[in-house]
Amino acid sequence: MNWLTDPEEDILIHSAATFATGMVPAVSGQRWFRDTERNDIQGELVGAGWPTGPTHTPRTTGHKASRRVGSALTSALSMVTSLLLNENNVGSGDGPPDDPENEVDDFPVMWAAPGTLARTLPWQLDPARRPEGYTTDLVVTNHRLLFVGSELGLMEHGDVLGELPLDAIAEVRHMGFSNLGADIRLTFADRSWVRLFTGARNSAERLDQMHAGIVRMLPANALTAGQQREAARFCAGMPERPYPPTYTMLPSGTLLMEVRSPSKCAAGCFDVAVNLMDETGVRVGPRPEDPSVP
The conformation of residue 107, written as its DSSP 8-state character, comes to -
CB atoms within 10 A of CB 47: 9
Mean pLDDT for the stretch of residues 50-56: 93
Mean pLDDT for the stretch of residues 34-53: 96
Mean pLDDT for the stretch of residues 32-40: 97
**What number of CA atoms fall less than 13 Å from residue 39's CA on the CB side?**
8
Sign of the dihedral defined by the CA atoms of residues 90, 196, 131, 133, in that order: negative
Mean pLDDT for the stretch of residues 50-54: 95
What CATH number was assigned to the domain covering residues 14-212? 2.30.29.30
- Specify the amino acid at residue 124: Q
Interatomic CA distance for residues 149 and 151, integer angstroms: 7
Encode pLDDT of 194-228 as tens digits.
Answer: 999 999 999 999 999 999 999 999 999 999 999 99
- Per-residue confidence band for 265, with pLDDT thresholds at 50, 70 and 90: confident
Domain limits, the chain: 14-212, 216-277
H-run or E-run covering 19:
strand 18-19
pLDDT at 286 (0 to 100): 94
Encode pLDDT of 144-166 as tens digits.
Answer: 999 999 987 777 778 999 999 99
Mean pLDDT for the stretch of residues 18-27: 94
pLDDT at 241 (0 to 100): 65
Interatomic CA distance for residues 182 and 202, integer angstroms: 7
Cα angle vertex 62, ends 58, 63, to 5°?
55
Interatomic CA distance for residues 114 and 35, integer angstroms: 8
Contacts of 6 (CB under 8 A, 6+ apart): 143
Residue 3 has pLDDT above 90, yes or no: no
Distances (CA, A) of 140 to 9, 63, 134, 163, 164: 10, 37, 20, 10, 10
> How many residues in the chain?
294
Mean pLDDT for the stretch of residues 221-238: 94
Encode pLDDT of 58-113 as tens digits.
Answer: 877 544 444 444 444 444 444 333 333 333 334 455 578 989 999 998 999 999 99
Interatomic CA distance for residues 45 and 40, integer angstroms: 10
Interatomic CA distance for residues 132 and 111, integer angstroms: 26
Interatomic CA distance for residues 90 and 215, integer angstroms: 26
Beta-ladder partners of 18: 197
Higher per-residue pLDDT: 96 or 245? 245
CB atoms within 10 A of CB 49: 7
By the 8 A CB rule, do 221 and 207 touch?
no
Beta-ladder partners of 187: 171, 193
Q: Are strands 159-165 and 144-150 parallel, antiparallel or unpaired?
A: antiparallel
- Per-residue confidence band for 10, with pLDDT thresholds at 50, 70 and 90: very high
Task: Read off φ and ψ for residue 90, nearest 5 degrees.
Answer: -120, 95
Distances (CA, A) of 75 to 69, 84, 178, 208, 271: 11, 14, 13, 24, 27
Task: Indicate the average pLDDT of the chain.
Answer: 87
